[in-house]
Amino acid sequence: MPTKVAVVTGSNKGIGLSIVKGLCKRFDGVVYLTSRDVSRGKAAVEKLNAEGLFPEFHQLDVTDRKSVERFRDHIKEKYDGIDILINNAGVSGGLNSANYDECKSIININFNSILILEELIFPLVRDNGRILNISSDCGHLSNIRNKYWIEQLSSKDIKMDDILRFVDWFLQSVKDNTFNKQDIADGGTVAAYRVAKVALSAATIVQQRELDKRNISINSMHPGLVRTDMTTGIGFYSADEAAKTPIYLVLDAPASLKGAYIWHDGKVLDWYDYNADYYFKISTVLDHLQKKV
Ligand SMILES: NC(=O)c1ccc[n+]([C@@H]2O[C@H](COP(=O)([O-])OP(=O)(O)OC[C@H]3O[C@@H](n4cnc5c(N)ncnc54)[C@H](OP(=O)(O)O)[C@@H]3O)[C@@H](O)[C@H]2O)c1
């Protein structure tokens, strides 16, 4: 029997680090803590070592093709495959509206990276393996208000090209100053992050179709509002609490759960319900902040 392997991207801190911690305690195999920055990654490993947990480490910048290739070659040579892949690396870009370059970067890290991983790392995922894309409440379709894109993204035979068109449409509108705030929920706030995460959750559905042949499950999820650097420490849950559902999804959930969008409490939601109240609201953060003061 080959050694089982689990990989978590962006896991030097926050939810990713807590997922690695939880997997080290329960997963019957090797767990990879990966980080774009070697010193931050190694420091995180040392922290876990002090707790009696021993993940392996490898550098991995999910936006850097060369870095992903190096990681692929390392895994190929050492273990020849991956059983669990958690695509957790992400950035939100803060609550203020972003300029074109910032929007591009947010989309690059949260969404374009998944296309590089799909090409280079998914082929290493073994038959019957599990992949989890960490999305957000910003990734539910109800974040989109533009009728044309709701229709396109709701199509049951949506293709990756349609999702790329959606992302391009948004970026182009920011570039030429025609972005209409009404096209995105909550007055167009954190628009780039919403577009990136909606694209990620939509891509999960497309990727599941492809991975069905090898009985690999791929789902996307919202981890909750979590106290990490991303939220400047604001949130209802600690990173360890937020890691519970991702760990459940890759270790315990029925293998029949495929191409789904899952809430932080483990509930499977209808991603297509564009009228639902699942979209992110800035007021949730502001209310929470006020209560803390
Ligand atoms: N916290 C929340 O309330 C919340 C809510 C919804 C969704 N999420 C999602 O949950 C995931 C984890 O977020 P978090 O709250 O744990 O944030 P975090 O504490 O800021 O951690 C983000 C992690 O992603 C890494 N990362 C960023 N860009 C990367 C790249 N190009 N390559 C590899 N790693 C990269 C960061 O590395 P560095 O240390 O090098 O920056 C860090 O390890 C993200 O996908 C986020 O969108 C979080």
Encoded tokens for 240: 């360890």
Q: What's the sign of the alpha-carbon dihedral 191, 194, 196, 202?
A: negative
193 annotated active-site: yes
In 3D space, the residue among 219, 233, 212 whose CA is nearest the CA of residue 262 turns out to be 219
Is residue 203 a contact partner of residue 114, using CB atoms and an 8 Å limit? Answer: yes
CA-to-CA dists, residue 289 to 22, 39, 94, 186, angstroms:
29, 32, 15, 18
- Choose the catalytic residue: 193, 237, 261, 278: 193
Query: Would the pTM of this model clear 0.95, i.e. be above it?
Result: yes
Structural domains of the chain ordered from first start: 5-292 (3.40.50.720)
What pLDDT is stored for residue 293 in this prediction? Answer: 62
Ligand 1 center to residue 12 CA distance, Å?
9
Atom in ligand 1 nearest the alpha carbon of residue 110: 45
Angle at alpha carbon of residue 232, lines to 184 and 264, rounded to 5°: 60
- pLDDT the model gives residue 1: 81
Q: Whose CA is nearest to atom 37 of ligand 1?
A: 10
Question: Residue 52's pLDDT is what?
Answer: 98
pLDDT in tens, the chain (293 residues): 889 999 999 999 999 999 999 999 999 999 999 999 999 999 999 999 999 999 999 999 999 999 999 999 999 999 999 999 999 999 998 777 779 999 999 999 999 999 999 999 999 999 999 999 999 999 999 999 999 999 999 999 999 999 999 999 999 999 999 999 999 999 999 999 999 999 999 999 999 999 999 999 999 999 999 999 999 999 999 999 999 999 999 999 999 999 999 999 999 999 999 999 999 999 998 888 887 76
Ligand 1 pocket at CB < 6 A: 9-10, 12-16, 36-37, 40, 60-63, 88-92, 109, 134, 136, 222-223, 225-226, 228-231, 235
- Measured in angstroms, how far is the CA atom of residue 2 from the centroid of ligand 1? 30
The residue whose two tokens read 């891509």 is 203
Determine the atom of ligand 1 nearest the C-alpha atom of 87.
45
Distance 225 CA to ligand 1 centre (A): 13
Cα 23 from Cα 250, distance rounded (Å): 10
Rounded Cα distance, 75 and 1, in Å:
16
Quote the DSSP letter at residue 190. T
60 CA to centre of ligand 1 in angstroms: 13
Atom of ligand 1 at shortest distance to CA of 137?
Answer: 6
Task: Locate the ligand 1 atom nearest the alpha carbon of residue 234 and give its number.
Answer: 3
> Is 14 exposed, middle or buried (CB count within 10 Å of its CB: 0-12, 13-18, 19+)?
buried
Cβ contacts of residue 267 below 8 Å, gap of 6+? none
Q: Is the torsion defined by CA of 59, 26, 52, 30 positive or negative? A: negative
